[in-house]
Amino acid sequence: MAETERLRTFLAVYRAGSMTDAAYHRGISQPAASQHLAALERTVGHRLFIRNPAGVTPTQAARELYARAAETLDALEAVIGELQHAPEDTVTTPVRIGSSPEYFGAEVLRRLVGREIPVRGVFGDDGTLLSLLESGEIDLAVTSAKPARRSLRAVPVGSKHFTLIAAPASVPRTPLRTVRQLAAWLPRQRWASYSLELPITRRFFQSVLGRPFTMHPHLVAPDLRAVLRAVELGIGVSLLPTFVCAEALAEGRVVEPFPVAELVEEEPWFACTRAGEARRPAVAAIIDALSVRGEAS
């Protein structure tokens, strides 16, 4: 039983990244948490954490131990919780969620309303988030890319839809009625974009408009909110995820020159976790909140 308690402390420290926070969430003193880890290190024969000003960093031995022990201990915690009839909203360990800042602000926050789960937001692109997830620095990553790494798991939680937007003063007085009219009008506009790669835009031009995307973006800003603002100001037009521009469309700050939602291929959203992490009650609750039933877009 002592080893189980030490492993529970180990998991708490690994997930919190802090001895102090882990001790608080375990309901034990910091010296007791340190003793648990010291005893566990003697048992496994390896150092598990390196202390630093920001907290602790897991060693390779800790990562391997976590990969082997987390799923089993989480299953045990779930059984104990069921036996004690403990509601999910009593979980106090923060869940570290990685996503884009735009998705976090537009989707994650509103889906957490009414769920008493402490959350820590971490922002980055898909590659960065999956690396942080694998190393144990976050608990859940929402990405458009399904991880290829065997240590990670992915659950579909919806789809990303796209909308073509422009400033009201930028659209033709005579509404665009056909794709052919759109194909004649759109290449003459200035383009605002998130990056120079533009994979969605390039596929849209090629597959829907029947021509390659040859425009040089007038504005490039690695923040979808900035791109939306640029469109509002008439700096350019853009193809943006609907969840980013829905409010601006509803308020009339931007308009759709032509409806393309059914023409642009959707991108999936995945809730990614390490093996076994999705069994944690708080993580499972957040995945449920982000699921397709909430109509992610």
My answer on whether 115 and 147 are in the same domain is yes
pTM of this structure: 0.65
In 3D, which of 146, 164, 156 has the Cα closest to residue 264? 164
Confidence of residue 85 (pLDDT cuts 50, 70, 90): very low
The per-residue pLDDT for range 4-37, each reduced to its tens digit, is: 888 888 888 888 888 888 887 777 888 888 899 9
Strands (E), the chain: 49-52, 55-58, 95-99, 119-123, 140-143, 152-160, 162-165, 192-193, 219-220, 238-241, 267-274
My answer on whether 235 and 283 are in the same domain is no
pLDDT at 279: 80
Residue with tokens 């189980």: 4
Q: What is the mean pLDDT of residues 126-141?
A: 90
My answer on whether 37 and 128 are in the same domain is no
Which two three-digit tokens encode residue 249?
């469309």
229: containing domain: 162-265
Which of 62, 86, 110 is the C-terminal boundary of a domain?
A: 86
Please, what is the end-to-end C-alpha distance for the chain in angstroms?
Answer: 46
Per-chain mean pLDDT for the chain: 87
Confidence of residue 292 (pLDDT cuts 50, 70, 90): low
Into how many domains does the chain fold?
A: 3
My answer on whether 210 and 272 are in the same domain is no
My answer on whether 253 and 205 are in the same domain is yes
Which two three-digit tokens encode residue 93?
């360990």
Return the percentage of the chain with pLDDT > 90, whole number. 54
